[in-house]
Amino acid sequence: ITSVTISGPPSPVVNAPFTVTITFSEAVTGFTAGDINATNATLSNLSTTDNITYTALVTPSAAGAVTMQVPAGIAVNIGNNANTASNSLSYTYDNTVPVVTSVTVPANGYYKTGDVLNFTVNFSENLAVNGTPYIDITIGSTVIHANYISGSGTNALAFAYTVQPGDQDLDGIAIGAAIQLNGGTIRDAAANAALLTLNNVG
């Protein structure tokens, strides 16, 4: 009896077509991409060099669950024995770009040297942050940075700036149009880069 396993990317969440590997316990014949049971995806470019290990390209059809399995009896070995069923492989396909839904700003009032101005940027989904992104803040005619301080793993990213001697802006500070990555990254679980434009600023 010929056994078979199917494997793919280690992350359970994907955002693009990906490759799976189908491995039989011995050489088989009669195996095609159409033999693989797939939900919410199409398989193509099936190839092998030894009739044991095959690779195929999986193209998800829509956002959501993607599953694959090699059913029993679709290929035979040299003794004309059919294969057993493989394991089932499951992923979540997410190609939606995270966006800013709102920005919370410090309360209206006067701030003095040493006070901290806190800003919270709320996104449409949870994000992972690497590095130290920042928001441009204009105080008077000077542009400074409110640096990222926390929130990775959630949908609310916190930024802060400590008021310095000489900072003065009596008609209100202004916020830049977008988060600056500063060499870092802001991505969701599927590695979709967030859209950094600031919306609905308080």
pLDDT in tens, 4-17: 999 999 989 999 99
Predicted local distance difference test score (pLDDT) of residue 1: 82
- Asked if residues 52 and 69 have their Cβ atoms less than 8 Å apart, the reply is no
d(CA 33, CA 26): 18
The rounded distance, in Å, linking the Cα atoms of 122 and 187 is: 14
Q: Given its phi and psi angles, is residue 70 left (phi above 0), alpha (psi -120 to 50 degrees) or beta? A: beta
Tokens of 72: 């029993």
Q: In the prediction, which pLDDT does 70 show?
A: 97
Residue with tokens 């694959």: 68
Residue 171 zone, left/alpha/beta (φ > 0; ψ -120 to 50; rest): alpha
Enter the pTM of the model. 0.78
Q: What pLDDT is attached to residue 197? A: 97
pLDDT digit string, tens, across residues 118-135: 999 999 999 999 999 999
Strand 88-93 and strand 142-150: the pairing is: unpaired
Assign 128 to helix, strand or coil.
strand
Secondary structure of residue 160 in the 3-state scheme: strand
**pLDDT classification of 171: cutoffs 50, 70, 90:** confident
- Residues of the chain above pLDDT 70, percent: 100
List the structure tokens of 128: 């992972």
The predicted model gives 107-121 an average pLDDT of 95
Q: What is the mean pLDDT of residues 162-182?
A: 94
Task: Tell me the C-alpha to C-alpha distance, in Å, between residue 181 and each of 145, 162, 194, 196.
Answer: 12, 20, 10, 9
